[in-house]
């Protein structure tokens, strides 16, 4: 099923015709790990040919529903490719079913449990990403060995958990306004006991208050202290929690590809 926009052709609305403007395609597949059907929104680069020889890097986008971040991040990918600041890439938007369940690990904080009763499923979701989603994408699309994960807010918490616990799962991480306050910052507190690995990581935070800004900076410092980690911490004080993702993703994809 295609992800569609509508283009109106003609001036006289009584005789106007419309044709679909195809932004990407939507695929659904069954996850045995999550025991549910998951939806993917996929943007393919210009010139992509299923039977061709060219293979492409993949950008995995959390909060990737059409009414969340898929459309505007696809625009960034298309534009940066057009101006040759990003190699032609496949964008895979992972549509949400229950982001509070999927993006959080169990918490000991009673208020968090009461406010977010379905939480605590990140370990399962990480297995889904690694054992089902990535193999599915590799099987159905012409991919190469380069992969990037983009996550913001609770999605940034999940991306932080992956880069700290399973750093080799992706080559690149774009972590925006991560909700590291979760479970009294327990993820940061255990970071010293977690495995090291190689990855490029872009961490961004806006003007979002001490609870968001200080843990993001701390995460960046922890990662910079690890051998094999290439890290860029980007404070964006002109942005808020609601506005930051677009600008941060633009800057992150430039930096990951050597554009200063």
Could you tell me the CATH number of the domain that includes residue 113? 3.40.50.1820
pLDDT of amino acid 16: 82
Q: How far apart are CA 12 and CA 202, in angstroms?
A: 49
How far is 205 from 203, CA to CA, in rounded Å? 7
- From CA 156, how far away is CA 171, in angstroms rounded? 16
Q: What is the mean pLDDT of residues 147-163?
A: 98
The contacts of residue 13 (CB under 8 Å, 6+ apart) are none
Coil, strand, or helix at residue 104? coil
| Confidence check: pLDDT of 115 > 60 | yes
Over the stretch 175-232, which tens digit does the pLDDT of each residue have?
999 999 999 999 999 988 787 889 999 999 999 999 999 999 999 999 998 889 999 9
Total domains, the chain: 1
> Tens digits of per-residue pLDDT, 19-76?
988 899 999 999 999 999 999 999 999 999 888 899 999 999 999 999 999 999 999 9
Of the candidates 57, 27, 63, the one whose C-alpha atom is nearest the C-alpha of residue 42 is: 27
pTM metric for this prediction: 0.93
The stretch 115-127 carries a mean pLDDT of 96
Q: Which tokens is 173 given?
A: 């991480």
pLDDT class of 133 with cuts at 50, 70, 90: very high
Of 42-51, 134-143, 148-157, the one with minimum mean pLDDT is 42-51
**131 band by pLDDT with thresholds 50, 70 and 90:** very high
**How confident is residue 244, by pLDDT bands cut at 50, 70 and 90?**
very high
Burial 63-88 (b: 16+ CB within 10 A, else e): bbbbebbbbebbebbbebbeeeebeb
Is 181 part of a structural domain of the chain? yes
pLDDT-derived band at 3 (thresholds 50, 70, 90) equals: low
Question: What rounded mean pLDDT belongs to the chain?
Answer: 93
Predicted pLDDT of residue 4: 55
- Checking if the pLDDT of 101 tops 60, the result is yes
Residue 18 placed within a domain: no
For residue 150, give its domain range.
24-256
**pLDDT, position 137:** 97
Q: Is the per-residue pLDDT at 164 higher than 80?
A: yes
Please give the Cα distance from 106 to 44 (Å, whole number): 36
12 assigned to some structural domain = no
Sheet holding 199-206, edge to edge: 2-9, 17-31, 36-43, 90-94, 56-61, 143-152, 172-176, 199-206, 229-236
Domain-embedded: residue 199: yes
Grouping H, G, I as helix, E, B as strand and the rest as coil, residue 10 is: coil
Provide, rounded to the nearest whole percent, the portion of the chain with pLDDT above 90.
83
In angstroms, the Cα distances linking 237 to 159, 208, 244, 248, 260 are: 22, 8, 9, 11, 19
1 found inside a domain: no
Q: Is residue 33 part of a domain?
A: yes
Mean pLDDT to the nearest integer, 155-168: 97
The reply to whether 16 falls in a domain is no
Contact 159, 150 (CB under 8 A): yes
- The answer to whether residue 14 sits within a structural domain is no
Arithmetic mean of pLDDT, 79-105: 97
Residue whose C-alpha is closest to residue 235's, from 250, 253, 248: 248
Residue 10 has pLDDT above 80, yes or no: no
């Amino acid at each position: 099923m295609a992800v569609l926009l509508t283009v109106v052709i003609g001036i006289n609305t009584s005789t106007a015709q419309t044709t679909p403007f195809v932004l990407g395609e939507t695929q659904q597949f069954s996850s045995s790990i999550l025991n549910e059907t998951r939806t993917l929104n996929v943007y393919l680069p210009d010139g992509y040919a299923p039977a061709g020889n060219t293979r492409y890097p993949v950008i995995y986008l959390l909060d990737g529903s059409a009414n969340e971040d898929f459309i505007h991040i696809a625009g960034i990918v298309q534009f940066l490719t057009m101006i040759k600041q990003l190699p032609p890439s496949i964008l895979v938007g992972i549509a949400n079913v229950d982001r509070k369940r999927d993006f959080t690990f169990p918490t000991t904080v009673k208020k968090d449990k009461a406010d977010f009763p379905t939480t605590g499923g990140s370990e399962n979701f990480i297995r889904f990403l690694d054992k089902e989603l990535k193999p599915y994408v590799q099987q159905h699309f012409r991919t190469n060995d380069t992969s990037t994960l983009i996550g913001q807010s609770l999605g940034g918490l999940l991306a932080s958990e992956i880069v700290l616990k399973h750093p080799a799962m992706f080559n690149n991480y774009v972590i925006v306004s991560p909700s590291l306050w979760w479970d009294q910052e327990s993820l940061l507190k255990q970071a010293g006991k977690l495995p090291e690995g190689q990855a490029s990581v872009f961490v961004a935070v806006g003007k979002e208050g001490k609870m968001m800004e200080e843990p993001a900076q701390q995460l960046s410092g922890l990662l910079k202290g690890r051998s094999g980690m290439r890290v860029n911490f980007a404070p964006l004080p002109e942005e808020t929690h609601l506005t930051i993702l677009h600008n941060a993703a633009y800057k992150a994809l430039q930096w990951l590809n050597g554009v200063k």
